Amino acid sequence: MKFGGTSVANIERIKNVADIIKNKKKDNSKLVVVVSAMAGVTNDLVQKSKSISKNFSNEEYDVLLSSGEQVTSALLSACLIEKNIQARSMLAWQIPIVTEGQHKNSRILSLNSKAILNYLDMNYVVVIPGFQGISEKMRVSTIGRGGSDASAVALAKALDADRCEIYTDVEGIFTTNPEICDKAKKIEKISYDEILEMSSLGAKVMQSSSVQKAMMNDIEIFVKSTFSPEKSGTQILSEDRISYNQVITGVASSNDDAKITLIGVKDKPGVASAIFKPLNDQNIIVDMIVQNISADSKKTDVTFTVKRDDMDKTKKMLENLKKDIGYDNLLTDNKVAKVSIVGAGMITHPGVAYKMFNALSLKKINILVISTSEIRISVLVNDSNVELAVKTLHSAFELD
Amino acid sequence: MKFGGTSVANIERIKNVADIIKNKKKDNSKLVVVVSAMAGVTNDLVQKSKSISKNFSNEEYDVLLSSGEQVTSALLSACLIEKNIQARSMLAWQIPIVTEGQHKNSRILSLNSKAILNYLDMNYVVVIPGFQGISEKMRVSTIGRGGSDASAVALAKALDADRCEIYTDVEGIFTTNPEICDKAKKIEKISYDEILEMSSLGAKVMQSSSVQKAMMNDIEIFVKSTFSPEKSGTQILSEDRISYNQVITGVASSNDDAKITLIGVKDKPGVASAIFKPLNDQNIIVDMIVQNISADSKKTDVTFTVKRDDMDKTKKMLENLKKDIGYDNLLTDNKVAKVSIVGAGMITHPGVAYKMFNALSLKKINILVISTSEIRISVLVNDSNVELAVKTLHSAFELD
């Protein structure tokens, strides 16, 4: 059972989490609980680090931030003990959870389940601070923001858990953002692939690399609400165990995109690499890419999208590289947004793309860029059209 | 170098501490720094624990509270690195600092200096969170409030340090409380014994058990101000290295005492034990004790003092034990205060007690109870007389 920051935001909520665990413990389940830092704590610590230095030591950053989850694990353990449940916190170094890679963004390498199993056998609830590990050099490490999901999945795998429950502040995963479309419905079952597409499109329920790890190890995940734990939530499992009666599972949208177009790029081998390698080197994530091959000249136009925050940086870089790349003009537009339909069902149903484009065209929504994967079709539109596009597609694919 | 909670209360002060260390590092000293939690943090965590349970698990309490010092150690280390000083935090489990005894109140049993020396040799400043250790069962332990002093002294001993500097928010140890008597002067040198007597009397500069440990290992301590580090502060060292030109070193006072008198106690063997054992069992600290033997009857009066906060609890306990102890009446008075003179010089100077009592009597200050040690004389007075008594004695013993 993993509880995120809003689920343990204050003492009352920690008591509520202890009640959920106590209730779950009634059937004598062996329970391992992973907790995040109390909401706000991590941001406060990050703020402190920024007041010290813009280049705050990565090693010390991990020592600093890991304290947040440590506090929650102690508070929750004591709260369980207060409710007559045997419990104890187990910090990363006590297990140990060994990580590899760089500080601030490590990956779990190995996890010694022996000590945990020992306490589970003695009927303890073991409470583990998420997000933290220790490096091979015996220093405190952390596994990136949202890393408590990764801790939960790694523990579920190492302990061969029957299930992994992710408790959050929503009732599960929805067919689309309820704030945009009031006809959004909770999804009962969704595949790993679909949730990965949804997450990368802005439906932030679980960290993507954790879903991937769950998929690779076939760990069934239940996304549930901390505030309505009795409700079924959403089950994430492999595609072949879901019977699809709908072509599309959900509609996702993001509104932090920016479009960049290079006009008159010389159409020669290696030009794409010349454009995108420097962006990659600067950790700028490029999303949709379209290249129009021009029949009549040796020149082409290349359009791609980046996060809106990265637009100015990207523009500057490409302007500096104008000679190396070779292009005539550079256009940018930060008033764009991406709308996507996601569904494993579309693999076996032809005509999905046509249906999507037709529905949008009937509402006079202009499509700027298109990109597709096996189970997803995304279009870039003017950001003033996002709400209408989401509602139109939600209705057109009978998700209302 | 040990920095207490007020010295690291916020980011600006942590930067100030980093400057003090940087300055000290100029002569290429090998430095180990012990830090407390930022002022307010520990109280906040204690408050959280109380909101969970009055009987908050001791083991989890240590996990909870130790996070405070961990945060400071990371912030200070990163701040040093920012100032181009090689530095790293080293948590209790990374050294390790092994403790014995119960949680919340452990003692340092052993300390592996190898890892620390290794980093000192590489010219690192090693920053260690005070107050924390690990138990022999590999759980987080803490060494009682004010425990950062104990960490500093234990480290000074284990590392065979040349000196141990305790940085605090005052310029050193004063002849008396400057808030009570504006003629208070900073003491240049004071013996371990004297500071122990002063501390237990309310002059809270350093934790007493840490002074004892420093005394046993002859570790010279320098109490200095974080805010005026250039000033000499007060040196604490062994008595035989101080030449006393004054009989009395300081005047101390406390105003959180309460007096309890049992009238008509049967004068028989074991009666003192019947009174004080139950108090001891409840961790009620009894300070001054006076028993007047009555010549004419088989009964006696017993008077003693406790902390004011403990008075009601003590009264209730003794009333419940009235039959077992056997006494006629119980009187309490919480408007009392203790005033003491302390000085190793009094061993070789007779008549100090007379001089004290006479000075007080000239000011018509009534003495309720007297208690003495080899280097201290304490009297209990009405708390309205504290200020006058302190000023009178400070002047009478030529400390002005």
Mutate to test the interface with B, among A75, A85, A135 (most CBs of B within 10 A): A75
Report phi then psi at A254, rounded to 5.
Answer: -135, 150
Helix ranges (DSSP H) in chain B? 11-25, 41-52, 58-82, 114-121, 147-158, 192-200, 208-216, 271-281, 311-320, 322-325, 352-362, 386-396
Give the integer Cα–Cα distance in Å for B173 and B184: 10
Nearest partner of B95 among B123, B124, B118, judged by Cα: B118
Mark which residues 24-83 of A lie under 8 Å from B by CB.
Answer: 45, 48-49, 51-53, 55-57, 59-61, 63-64, 66-67, 70-71, 73-75, 77-79, 81-82
Q: Kindly tell me if the per-residue pLDDT of A387 is higher than 80.
A: yes
Q: Are A340 and A158 in contact (CB under 8 A)?
A: no
Taking residues A115-128, what's their average pLDDT?
Answer: 97
Strand partners, B339: B253, B379
Topology of domain A2-169, CATH: Carbamate kinase (3.40.1160)
Q: Which CATH number fits domain A251-396: 2.170.150.20, 1.10.3720.10, 3.30.2130.10, 2.160.10.10?
A: 3.30.2130.10
Least confident of A77-91, B63-77, B282-296, B343-357: B282-296
Q: Kindly tell me if the per-residue pLDDT of A296 is higher than 70.
A: no
Strand partners, A221: A164, A236
| A310 to A4, A290, B170, B204: CA distances (angstroms) | 28, 19, 50, 55
Tell me: the pLDDT tens digits for A203-259?
A: 567 888 889 999 999 999 999 999 999 999 999 999 888 887 788 999 999 888 999
Q: List, edge to edge, every strand of the sheet that includes B329-342.
A: B286-292, B299-307, B250-266, B329-342, B376-382, B369-373
What pLDDT, on a 0 to 100 scale, did the predictor assign at position A261? 94
Token digits for B193? 């014994």
Token digits for A213? 């790890």
Is the CB of A81 less than 8 angstroms away from the CB of B64? no
Chain A residues close to B61, C-beta within 8 Å: 74, 78
Asked if A367 reaches chain B (Cβ–Cβ under 8 Å), the answer is no
More confident residue, B109 or A206: B109
**With bands split at pLDDT 50, 70 and 90, how would you rate the model's confidence at B347?**
confident
**With bands split at pLDDT 50, 70 and 90, how would you rate the model's confidence at B53?**
very high
Query: How far does the CA of residue A107 sit from the closest CA of chain B (Å)?
Result: 21
Is the CB of A94 less than 8 angstroms away from the CB of B138? yes
Question: Is ipTM strictly over 0.95?
Answer: no
Query: How far does the CA of residue B95 sit from the closest CA of chain A (Å)?
Result: 10
Token digits for B149? 């002093």
Give the integer Cα–Cα distance in Å for A250 and A197: 10
Kindly identify which residue of chain A lies nearest to residue B65, measuring between CA atoms: A71
Tell whether domain B2-242 is in CATH 3.40.1160.10. Answer: yes
Same fold, B2-242 and B251-396: no
What pLDDT, on a 0 to 100 scale, did the predictor assign at position A259? 95
Decide: helix, strand or coil at residue B359. Answer: helix
Chain A residues close to B77, C-beta within 8 Å: 57, 60, 63
- Domain ranges (residues) in chain B: 2-242, 251-396
**Percentage of chain A lying above the pLDDT 90 cut:** 76
| B206 to B106, B199, B332, B380: CA distances (angstroms) | 18, 7, 31, 24
Q: Are B336 and B382 in contact (CB under 8 A)?
A: yes
Give the integer Cα–Cα distance in Å for B390 and A29: 65
**With bands split at pLDDT 50, 70 and 90, how would you rate the model's confidence at B294?**
low
Give the integer Cα–Cα distance in Å for B129 and A242: 52
Q: Are A300 and A293 in contact (CB under 8 A)?
A: yes
Q: Kindly tell me if the per-residue pLDDT of A345 is higher than 90.
A: no
Residue of A11, A57, A66 with shortest CB distance to B48 = A11
The vertex-A143 CA angle with A141 and A146, nearest 5°, equals 140
